[in-house]
Copies of this chain bind each other. A is one copy, B any other.
Amino acid sequence: MSQVEILDTTLRDGAQGEGISFSLEDKLRIARRLDDLGIHYIEGGWPGSNPKDARFFERAGSLALRQATIVAFGSTRRADVSPAEDANLAALLAAGTPVVTLFGKSWQLHVERVLGTTLGENLRMIADSIRYLRAAGRRVIYDAEHFFDGFAANPDYAFETLRAALAAGAECLVLCDTNGGTLPSRLAAAVSRVRAAFPGVPLGIHAHNDGGLAVANTLAAVEAGVTHVQGTFNGYGERCGNADLCAVIPNLQLKMGLPVLAPEQLAALTEAAHFVSEVANLRPNPHAPYVGRSAFAHKGGVHVSAVLKAAESYQHIDPALVGNERRVLVSELSGKGNILHKAAELCPDLDTPTEQAREVLREVKELEARGYQFEGAEGSFELLLRRSQPGYQPPFELLDFLVLVEKRRGTGIIAEATVKARVGDEIIHTAAVGNGPVNALDRAIRKAILPFYPELDRVQLVDYKVRILDEEAATAAQTRVLIEASDGEHNWNTVGSSTNIIEASFHALVDSLELPLARANGNGRARLRAPTDPVPRAQSLPEPERAGSEPGARQP
Residues of chain A at the chain B interface (Cβ within 8 Å): 16-19, 21, 23, 25-26, 49, 109-110, 113-114, 149, 178-181, 183-185, 209-213, 215-217, 219-220, 223, 235, 238-241, 244, 247-248, 251, 255-256, 281, 283, 285-290, 292, 294-300, 303, 306, 309-310, 312-317, 329, 373, 375-376, 399-410, 413, 415, 434-439, 441-442, 460-477, 479, 483-484, 498-503, 505-506, 509, 541, 545-546
Contact = CB atoms under 8 A, between A and B. Distances in A.
Given A212-B251, A309-B114, A314-B178, A475 B461 contact: yes
11 contacts: A25-B472, A180-B289, A183-B255, A212-B251, A213-B251, A238-B297, A241-B287, A402-B406, A403-B437, A410-B546, A465-B468
Given A180-B289, A211-B316, 20 more contacts: A17-B287, A21-B373, A23-B471, A23-B472, A114-B313, A181-B317, A183-B251, A184-B216, A211-B251, A211-B289, A212-B215, A213-B215, A240-B288, A403-B406, A404-B405, A413-B498, A415-B500, A437-B437, A463-B472, A475-B505
A442 B475 contact: yes
A292 B17 CA distance: 13
Contacts of A483: 474-475
Contacts of A212: 215-216, 244, 247-248, 251, 288-290
A40 B346 CA distance: 45
The SS class assigned to the A binding surface is mixed
B210 A295 contact: yes
Contacts of A235: 287
A452 to B, nearest CB: 20
Contacts of A292: 239-240
Nearest to A293: B18
A376 B309 contact: no
B468 A464 contact: yes
Contacts of A400: 406-409
Contact of A499 (B286, B306, B435, B502): B435
B375 A18 contact: yes
Contacts of A23: 469-472
B469 A463 contact: no
Contacts of A183: 219, 251, 255-256
B113 A310 contact: yes
Contacts of A498: 413, 436
A402 B405 contact: yes
A436 B211 contact: no
A180 B18 CA distance: 29
